[in-house]
Amino acid sequence: MSVFNYYALFSVSVTNAFFGDAETSDTNGFTAGSLDFSLDSEADFDPEVTPTEDATRTVTVENDGSLGFQYRAQAVNLSGDLCGSLDLTAELDTVEQYSEALSGFNMLPFVFEDPEEWDFTVSLNSSDESLQNETCNFDFQFDGWQEELAEGVGGFTDQEIINNTVTAGEWETECTDPTVEITTVETGSSFDYGDADVVIKSGGALQNTGGGNLAVSTNCDLTVEDGGEILTDETTNAGSITLTVGGNLSIAGSSVSASSGSNSSTNNGGDITINVTGDFTLTGTVTSFGQENAGDISVTVGDTFSISSTGQLFSKSGDSSSTNNGGDITINVSGDFTVSGEVNSYGSENAGDITLDLGEDFSIPSGGKVYSKAGSTSSTNTGGDITGTIDGNLSVAGELASSGDEQAGDIDLTVSGTTSVAGTSIQAKSGDTSSTNTGGLIAITSTGNFAVSGLIDAYGQEQGGDIELITQGIFTLTSSGTIQAKGGSSSSANKGGNISIIARGGNSSFAGNVFAGADETGGNIAITVAGNLSISEDQDVNAGTTSSTNTGGTIVYTTSGLLTVSSGIEATGPEGDGSIQTNYCTKDFTGATFDPAALEITNCDTVVLNEYLPNPSGSDDAAMPGGEWVELYNYGSSNVSVAGWVLYDSDDGNELAITTGNTDTGGTTVAAGGYLVVYRNGDGDFELNNSGGDSVRVYDGEIGSGGTLRDSNVYTSAAGVDKSFARIPDGGVWVDPVPTPGKPNKRTRVIVADEPVAEEEPQEVSQPEEITQQPVASEPELSETPPVEEIVEETDNSEQITDNNSTESAPVENEETSQTDETEELLPEEVSEEPSDTDNSEQITDNNPAEQEPAIETEIPDETLVEESPTEIIAPADEPAAVTSEPSLEEGASNE
């Protein structure tokens, strides 16, 4: 007799099966049998269970072997808070076999008769609202053995397991208790109304005194109407309020208040926490007021949240001191969030932050306001940040703003749907009280199309903030729309901000004004479009005329399709013009004027230079991943091959071919929306200048062998150790951050104090013979002035970023610059007389990208930190009114 043992582990659908078979043969005449069955199910339990709705699943048992068998079925490995509240009904071929608790399901034996079908139904035996959204994970385990044997006595066996998850949905609690109406003042620390609707009417109030906290809860609806109140107001410090509502919450013509008195400048408002399972409708007020500091407000809504035109949600400090602060406001809404009234964090010193986490659409109709506003008691007042994730569409026809007399906060939103901006719209503006006031960053990333017919404004009296608008769809700026990052006119150190607009989804049009001008130095504009780009309205980064040192900024248009320009594009200044660069596949410039003349580059692909590192720690030509490197970025939606492409510095003979041997991926394809890092990796030709500036150029082949220029950038100052030059955001304006090869380029912000920097006249530029030498602009003399605070953009690593305003030039040898180590405190900037190659080096010059072949212009004079008498900024004659007059953020009467 021969004995054969077979063991196997296999997977069928979502089941894992282990089986063992022993085969026998008499007189070596081989006969074999097998016990093997399987479970099949196309879907898990569905839908979500509620007290009134069950979840079902069908499982089919099939015999895949040759032997008959019997089996046991049971539920095992239960885990999750929901499991103890679930019942199971099990039917085999429509005949009920079990109907009790899920945890008790364990039945045998069932003699298999092919085929067999189990229908399982899970029901929820509790209406406890705490079970909502909870889960139960468990396995159905089927143990089979030979039909003629008892379980566990030997023979062939098989085991099959199928995994299951049951999830509880949401439901309205059955409010069986009588409605509670409150018409008098009730005092206490906790009110729990169970399964009753609660109505607080005129004359009624729930309160706690003496600075104590207050908690109110009901499994049903809570309505505060006709002057009813929920409050912890106190003459000293107010207590906190917590509302927990299992149904809907309505505050109509009434108030929820955790406010302190005004008899002392040290009184603080209390925190307010609101949790609503259903809808939240606010036509009254929710207020935390503190004469010194306001409390925080947190709102979580399971369905929709609507604030009517009379509704107000405020966290507000008093005006008694320049140290009073507004509280933070956090709003989490599963459904739509609509603000026709006001959401406001106000502080006479600093406003609080507003954080949004929204499951569906966010709408601010005309007249609605969401803003974080600082007062005017001090020149150091700052607005709070407004940040959020919107898993729906964004529509702003009212006002979304952060303002501060010294500095505006940032507005940073990620939108999963479309974005529409109309009316007064989106602002991150500073005041006009000081020449050091700065605008905030406005960064909006939208998955869907992006349309602007209103105002997006990052005005700063000292320096305009940056604007970054990114869409995976198309971008449309109508004739009534304006996008501006304007600097003021109070000082000769005023600068425009940077504006980066990137559209990866197709043809985009700009019929409105885009403006980044300032009295001293124009900012930069970069518009990048995967498709056709049409510009039919003036765009400019002009400087004013108050000083002979005023210089224009840089404008770069990049499109993989047709570039149509029929308007005036300007980057001028009394001291020196900026630059204009156009990257396109085809063009139509009928009716266009460029001042100065534009550098034109033909590039039908969507790959551009995105970042490069001229001065790495260690050897410049070290083996990868050390040494110098250049990063390419694909802003389009299709992969692009760069096989055969070549990188050059300012010398046409110094080439670095892109091969599979010198890239971070080992390939020569730049994925859609992705990056490719090309390392110098020991190359002896390509070499970026560390001390005097250089250019980086990418061609689609060798120069002289049919290669054409695809993109370029130039830096004119010394390159600090491990300091890269990068577009921020990816495909946007060139700045000077910490290197991030192969990763997204991002920024954060700090304030540093700049000391006056003395600079010498730049030396003459050394150029290859075939390149036409342009005149070199003289550097301005700097007078002794007090330090001026400047907003400096930086990367997530807290490293300083300065704007790079330059036109294409060859290296400027021995150029003197000043560089500074970045900190998060307000510190004087250290100044060196010579260019530095240490990690502490940081440039304060501005370098904008623009490159020209073959004529290369020299650098624009470095930014000077000199304050002069306030003068009026000169705007283009045809600039829209929205640009020349700054919309004000009016504080309502309730804020005063």
Closest CA to 736 of 718, 709, 751, 754: 718
Listed in sequence order, the residues at least 6 apart from 173 whose beta carbon sits closer than 8 Å to its beta carbon are: 127, 129, 195, 219, 220, 246, 247
The candidate with the shortest Cα–Cα distance to 428, out of 454, 407, 401, is: 401
pLDDT in tens, 813-848: 333 333 333 333 323 333 333 333 333 333 333 333
pTM above 0.85, yes or no: no
pLDDT at residue 257 greater than cutoff 70: yes
**Nearest in space to 738 (alpha carbons), one of 753, 752, 723:** 723
Instruction: Give the span between the Cα atoms of 198 and 206, in whole angstroms.
Output: 11
Question: Which residues touch 653 (CB under 8 Å, ≥6 apart)?
Answer: 685
**Predicted pLDDT of residue 450:** 97
Residue, of 400 and 830, whose pLDDT is higher: 400
- Give the confidence band of 522 by pLDDT, cuts at 50, 70, 90: confident
> Which pLDDT band, with edges at 50, 70 and 90, does 4 fall under?
very low
Query: pLDDT digit string (tens) for 290-315?
Result: 777 888 999 999 999 999 999 999 98
Catalogue the E-assigned strands of 175-213.
180-182, 185-187, 190-192, 198-200, 205-207
User: For residues 771 and 450, which has the higher predicted lDDT (pLDDT)?
Assistant: 450
Q: Which two tokens stand for residue 29?
A: 């005449």
* Residue of 836 and 196 predicted with greater confidence: 196
pLDDT of residue 503: 95
Match 């017919």 to its residue by tokens.
453
C-beta separation of 856 from 774 below 8 A: yes
Token digits of residue 409: 């906060």
Q: What local confidence, expressed as pLDDT, does residue 787 receive? A: 32
Nearest to 751 by CA among 687, 674, 828, 678: 828
Three-state SS across 412-424?
EEEECCCEEECCC
Q: Which of 223-237, 317-331, 477-491 has the lowest mean pLDDT?
A: 317-331
Residues 773/765, Cβ–Cβ less than 8 Å: yes
As a whole-number percent, the residues of the chain with pLDDT over 70 amount to 75
CATH topology (fold) of 2-167: Jelly Rolls (2.60.120)
Residue, of 806 and 896, whose pLDDT is higher: 806
Q: How far lies 641's CA from each of 309, 583, 673, 675, in Å?
A: 54, 18, 13, 12
Between strands 69-79 and 135-146, the pairing is: antiparallel
Q: Are 524 and 733 in contact (CB under 8 A)?
A: yes
Residue 549's closest CA among 816, 191, 845?
Answer: 845
Instruction: Take residue 514 and report the two structure tokens written for it.
Output: 């885009």
Q: Is the pLDDT at 878 greater than 50, yes or no?
A: no
Burial readout 751-789 (b: 16 or more C-beta within 10 A, e: otherwise): bbbbbbbebeebeebebeeebeebebbebbeeeebeebb
Tokens of 39: 């479970």
Most confident of 428-437, 742-751, 815-824: 428-437
pLDDT digits 0-9 by tens, 664-694: 999 999 999 999 999 999 999 999 999 888 9
Q: Which is nearest to 451 in space by CA: 503, 416, 411?
A: 503
pLDDT at 631: 97
pLDDT band at 355, cuts 50/70/90? very high
Distance separating alpha carbons of residues 595 and 218, to the nearest angstrom: 67
Lowest mean pLDDT among 117-121, 134-138, 372-376, 470-474: 372-376
Mean pLDDT of the region 567-583: 85
What digits encode the pLDDT tens for the residues 263-286? 555 678 889 999 999 999 999 999
Tell me the sheet residues that pair with 61: 39, 116
Cβ count within 10 A of residue 12: 15
SS3 readout for 66-95: CCCEEEEEEEEEEECCCHHHEEEEEEECCE
At residue 339, the 3 state secondary structure works out as strand
Higher pLDDT among residues 469 and 130, named by residue: 469
The mean pLDDT value for 545-569 works out to 83
> Residue 825: which residues within 8 A CB-CB, separation 6 or more?
none
Of the two residues 777 and 232, the one the predictor is more confident about is: 232
- pLDDT tens across 547-556, in order? 556 777 889 9
Query: For residue 237, which phi and psi values (nearest 5 degrees)?
Result: -95, 135
Averaged pLDDT of the chain? 79
Place of tokens 């109406």: 181
Give the pLDDT score at 548.
Answer: 55
pLDDT, residue 319, reads 61
Is residue 884's pLDDT more than 60? no
Question: Domain map of the chain by residue range?
Answer: 2-167, 181-602
What confidence tier does 541 reach under pLDDT thresholds 50, 70, 90? low
